[in-house]
Chains A and B, each alone.
Chain A
């Protein structure tokens, strides 16, 4: 069956299928995040945008997909499935849809891997983008928040559709024939959206653990985990980002040739298929993972501010219900100390020479104050304001620590532009005193309660006095007029 396929073609095909599977998962999960997705077109290929489509890679999702695939590819009898389910705040859950990437035995031997298969996979991804907005789960995911959240689960193997209830519908997104089989992408979605009160996930308890916050590592962790379809800054952002960069450096096919082909396309069927022969050098470029341009800060995956800002509250409100009890060291630092914005660690040039001067903190000093400095390491991974701005290299900008965290943490307050506590009355002390003034005596509860009671008691007497002196009051009012 594979005898006609050259080793290079086979290698390319495997790579295409692998990245297609990863991009499929990204598209599906991102379509269920509950926000509008927007990526920019770029006339210059970066080499990191597989299938010539700007599809952002959320590192956790890639990580989960790779974990599910475990180095294998979708093949005959082994499908990659992405299950989307809904979980209410009461704990009821319901499977909404299952997306399946399957391979069957029908081969298209004469198809050109390097161009035709690649182009058709690109077309299929576009179709997936369109269809993911059409199934009923899309509207539900746009409204997720306090009442329910949308979760995803990636698994590999036999397709499980029993959880979709009766009368589920199937829509085929598309097919792509390859020399080793035909890839089919389809979606089975639930039509009966009446929520079942029975706790469905318990039936699958032995197989998988339901994890709302997938940052928590459970002892029974396996590839079949439910994950929330909302995006928080990845905990291992650096690690995840590096993995993402590593993937994108396995460069995608961006170069094509218009030189005469060595084999004809199947006539009639693909009359219009471009007769393309990839330059051999390109194949080796792909193998060596050369990225023509660095897929880092140049990644043009930026959402317009309006959609991002509107998504802010949603993302944060959703993620606020996720208790991040991650064992990760990076996240744990958020529970320790946090530095205010614009704070720099005291430098060795700070001196105590001019204590009386205003803004003495900015005067250079002779000795090193670092040992007096409280632990001021800013959190390394603040939540970006929107998943779409969490680019691969956002961790470099995360060091500013300017982002609000979802959970309330006790911090040692270090106000902006302040220095250490050497001066008797510095800015920090002033702030603290200013913000915690003593309670006004008249506003204290006990005294007010007492006075209230006294007031009530003395009311009749006061009224009697006022009635007696009513003439005086009237005369006073007359003088005012």
Chain B
């Protein structure tokens, strides 16, 4: 099975980075989260309800929808903040990319650690621009809003192709497919990584941080 990979590119002003990335990551996670599974006897399970929330951006003319889960929001915000800090500290021209990877765990025998097999990767390439005056900022506000709208349409288009999704797991296997650590929603297992690109366009050294959502490897 090949991993599906999608790339989205956005050019933003510095203060728009947080909101734009939150908008796109949350839009993807909205589609890749379900309600909590409750396994019952006889191999049946029921699914909890996912609530949704409209979030207005302050620096972009845009509103996006995310799942109503403060826990999930905190995790995503933390990842985005780290990326933004890295982007600011790297001394690069403000180019970098953040990836949201959905994966499945495959149990391996001892002494080998579990395999993480990605099945869908979304990469958002960010290019930070500096604007000279308020008028440009206002135009940028609207333009970025429109761009994000286009990206949301792209995301929805990809998701509605109904390509590979992991099989619904049994109770014993659910942690190999879903992140069950949150109390209100259940996204597919995911991890967020990022890379900062230097001015030459190549990825700098090894600024690769992993926010690992699976259990520790052996």
CB pair B166 A124 closer than 8 Å: no
Tell me which of B40, B42, B51 contacts A54 (CB under 8 A): B51
A429 surroundings in chain B (CB, below 8 A): none
The stretch among A197-205, A252-260, A398-406 that forms the contact with chain B is A252-260
- Name which residue of chain A comes closest to B56, CB basis: A36
CA distance A270 to B166 in the complex (A): 10
Cβ contacts A239-255/B at 8 Å (1 or 0 each): 00000000000000011
Tell me which of B40, B48, B155 contacts A42 (CB under 8 A): B48
CA distance A274 to B188 in the complex (A): 14
Cβ contacts B161-203/A at 8 Å (1 or 0 each): 0101111111100000000000111000000000000000000
CA distance A171 to B160 in the complex (A): 13
CA distance A127 to B39 in the complex (A): 27
The stretch among A132-140, A218-226, A433-441 that forms the contact with chain B is A132-140
B170 surroundings in chain A (CB, below 8 A): 258
Tell me which of A49, A124, A258 contacts B44 (CB under 8 A): A258
CB pair A43 B36 closer than 8 Å: yes
The stretch among A153-161, A172-180, A327-335, A336-344 that forms the contact with chain B is A172-180
CB pair A255 B40 closer than 8 Å: yes
Cβ contacts B135-165/A at 8 Å (1 or 0 each): 0000000000000010011011101101011
Residue among B30, B36, B149, B156 having the largest count of chain A Cβ atoms under 10 Å = B156
CB pair B64 A52 closer than 8 Å: no
B124 surroundings in chain A (CB, below 8 A): none
B1 surroundings in chain A (CB, below 8 A): 271
CB pair B152 A41 closer than 8 Å: no
CB pair A275 B50 closer than 8 Å: no
CB pair B153 A41 closer than 8 Å: no
Interface residues on A, range: 35 or more
- Kindly identify, within residues 20 to 56 of chain B, every residue whose CB is under 8 Å from any CB belonging to chain A: 27, 30-31, 34-36, 38-40, 42-56
- Kindly identify, within residues 85 to 122 of chain B, every residue whose CB is under 8 Å from any CB belonging to chain A: 119
Nearest CB in chain A: distance from B155 CB, A: 8
- Name which residue of chain B comes closest to A31, CB basis: B54
B18 at the interface (CB under 8 A from A): no
- Kindly identify, within residues 68 to 83 of chain B, every residue whose CB is under 8 Å from any CB belonging to chain A: 68-69
Residue among A37, A254, A272 having the largest count of chain B Cβ atoms under 10 Å = A272
A38 at the interface (CB under 8 A from B): yes
A39 at the interface (CB under 8 A from B): yes
A5 at the interface (CB under 8 A from B): no
CA distance A171 to B149 in the complex (A): 11
CB pair A255 B50 closer than 8 Å: no
- Name which residue of chain B comes closest to A48, CB basis: B49
CB pair A53 B168 closer than 8 Å: no
A133 surroundings in chain B (CB, below 8 A): 54, 63-65, 152
CB pair B185 A256 closer than 8 Å: no
B40 surroundings in chain A (CB, below 8 A): 255
Cβ contacts A128-154/B at 8 Å (1 or 0 each): 011101110011001000000000000
CB pair B184 A275 closer than 8 Å: no
A163 surroundings in chain B (CB, below 8 A): none
B27 surroundings in chain A (CB, below 8 A): 130
B30 surroundings in chain A (CB, below 8 A): 126, 129-130
CB pair A53 B52 closer than 8 Å: yes
Tell me which of A115, A124, A134, A275 contacts B160 (CB under 8 A): A124
Tell me which of A45, A138, A275, A300 contacts B47 (CB under 8 A): A45
SS class of chain B's interface: helix, strand, loop or mixed?
A: mixed
A255 surroundings in chain B (CB, below 8 A): 40, 44-46
CB pair B160 A54 closer than 8 Å: no
A254 surroundings in chain B (CB, below 8 A): 46-47
CA distance A41 to B164 in the complex (A): 26
Cβ contacts A269-313/B at 8 Å (1 or 0 each): 011111110010010000000000000000010000000000000
- Name which residue of chain B comes closest to A301, CB basis: B51
CB pair A43 B48 closer than 8 Å: yes
B67 at the interface (CB under 8 A from A): yes
- Kindly identify, within residues 57 to 80 of chain A, every residue whose CB is under 8 Å from any CB belonging to chain B: none
CA distance A229 to B44 in the complex (A): 40
A323 at the interface (CB under 8 A from B): no
- Name which residue of chain B comes closest to A307, CB basis: B54
CA distance A161 to B40 in the complex (A): 48
CB pair A39 B153 closer than 8 Å: no
Tell me which of B43, B167, B184 contacts A43 (CB under 8 A): B184
CB pair A41 B156 closer than 8 Å: no
Residue among B50, B169, B183 having the largest count of chain A Cβ atoms under 10 Å = B50
Nearest CB in chain A: distance from B145 CB, A: 9
CB pair A173 B42 closer than 8 Å: no
Nearest CB in chain B: distance from A58 CB, A: 16
Nearest CB in chain B: distance from A455 CB, A: 55
CB pair A52 B35 closer than 8 Å: yes
Tell me which of B34, B42, B63, B160 contacts A175 (CB under 8 A): B160
CA distance A257 to B183 in the complex (A): 22
A107 at the interface (CB under 8 A from B): no
CB pair B46 A130 closer than 8 Å: no
Known: A39-B68, A257-B43. 10 other contacts (CB 8 A): A36-B56, A38-B52, A42-B35, A43-B35, A45-B35, A115-B168, A130-B27, A133-B64, A258-B43, A258-B168
List, sorted by A's number, 19 A–B pairs whose CB atoms are closer than 8 Å. Answer: A38-B51, A38-B68, A39-B52, A39-B53, A40-B68, A41-B68, A43-B183, A45-B49, A52-B50, A54-B52, A129-B65, A130-B65, A130-B155, A130-B156, A139-B61, A142-B63, A174-B159, A254-B46, A255-B44
Query: Which residue numbers of A lie inside 8 Å of B, CB to CB?
Result: 36-46, 49, 52-54, 115, 120, 123-124, 126-127, 129-131, 133-135, 138-139, 142, 171-176, 254-259, 270-276, 279, 282, 300
Query: Which residue numbers of B lie inside 8 Å of A, CB to CB?
Result: 1, 27, 30-31, 34-36, 38-40, 42-56, 61, 63-65, 67-69, 119, 149, 152-153, 155-157, 159-160, 162, 164-171, 183-185
